[in-house]
Amino acid sequence: MRILLVNDDGIYAKGIRVLANHLRTLGEVVVVAPDRQKSAAGHSLTINDVLLIKEVEIEEGFTGIAVVDGTPTDCVLVGVKDLMKDDPPDFVVSGINHGANLGGDILYSGTVAGALEGLANGFKSMAISLDVHSDEGYFETAAVVATKILQTPELFEGIVEERSILNVNVPNVPLDELNGYRITRQGKTQYENYLEKYVNPQGKTFYWIGGDRPPHELEEDTDSFAVANKYVSITPINIDLTNYALIGKLKKILPKLMF
C-alpha cells in the first residue's frame, strides 16, 4: 500500500507524526505537509508565489517534505504531481487534525480540503481529526482508527466514482473507551461572536477572528452526536455542491428572468 499523508497543522505537529508512524506498518508513506500552521486554510491554493520545499526528519531514519508557506492543497499537488507521479498513491490521507471537523467546520478545514484535493486528482481519500486542541490528546486512538479504516477496503469501494471522501472524527478518549463506529451525516453549526472588533490605543480598528466555540447540532444521525457519545464518526462528503432538490423549482422560476 502506498499512502500520501498531508495535514494542515504543519509537519511538526504531533498528529501527523503519530499517524505517519502507524501508517508505515501498512506500506510506504510519503509525508508532504506545510512547514507551519495552516488551520482554516480551506481549499486555498498558492498561485501568486513559488513553492519551496525542504526535507524534515519526522523521526530517526524517516523524513518528510515540508512545503514552505504551503497549504494542504499545495501539499497534495506536490505529492501526486511530482513526488509520487511515477508510482501513485493508493490513498491520500489528511490528518490527524488537532481538533474535530464537524458540521460547518468542514467549510473552513484545511484537513478536509487536503482529502478533497486528493479526490479531485482521482484518489481514494480520507480526512481524520481528533476532538482535542492540544498535544495532550489521544492521538494513538485516532491513528489506530485510521489504520483500521484503511484496512477495510469495502469502505472505499466506488468512492471516487461517487466523488466523495470519508471525513472521520475521533473522540478524545483511550482506544478501549470508544463505543464503536457510526456512519453519519454532516450536522449543522451556528458560529456566534466569531468576528471580534477592537480599537488600539492609536485609534486604529482591527479584527480578530475567533469568538466562542459554536454549539453543534446533536441529532442522533449527526457527526457531532457520534463524537459526543464516544463513537467514531465516518461521514461521506461529496465534492459536488449542487443542490439537486432545488433545480426543478428554480427552472420553473426561470421564465421570469427572460428579457
Provide the annotated binding site for a divalent metal cation. 8-9, 39, 97
Nearest CA-CA partner of 43 in 68, 21, 66, 73: 73
Tell me the CA distances in angstroms from 157 to 76, 153, 165, one per residue in order.
22, 7, 11
Cα distance between residue 39 and residue 10, in whole Å = 9
The angle, 0 to 180 degrees and rounded to 10, between the axes of the packed helices 139-150 and 14-23 is: 40
Please name the residue ranges forming H helices in the chain: 14-23, 72-78, 110-120, 139-150, 223-228, 244-253
Beta strands, E only, the chain: 2-6, 28-34, 53-59, 62-67, 91-98, 124-130, 164-170, 180-183, 195-199, 205-209, 231-238
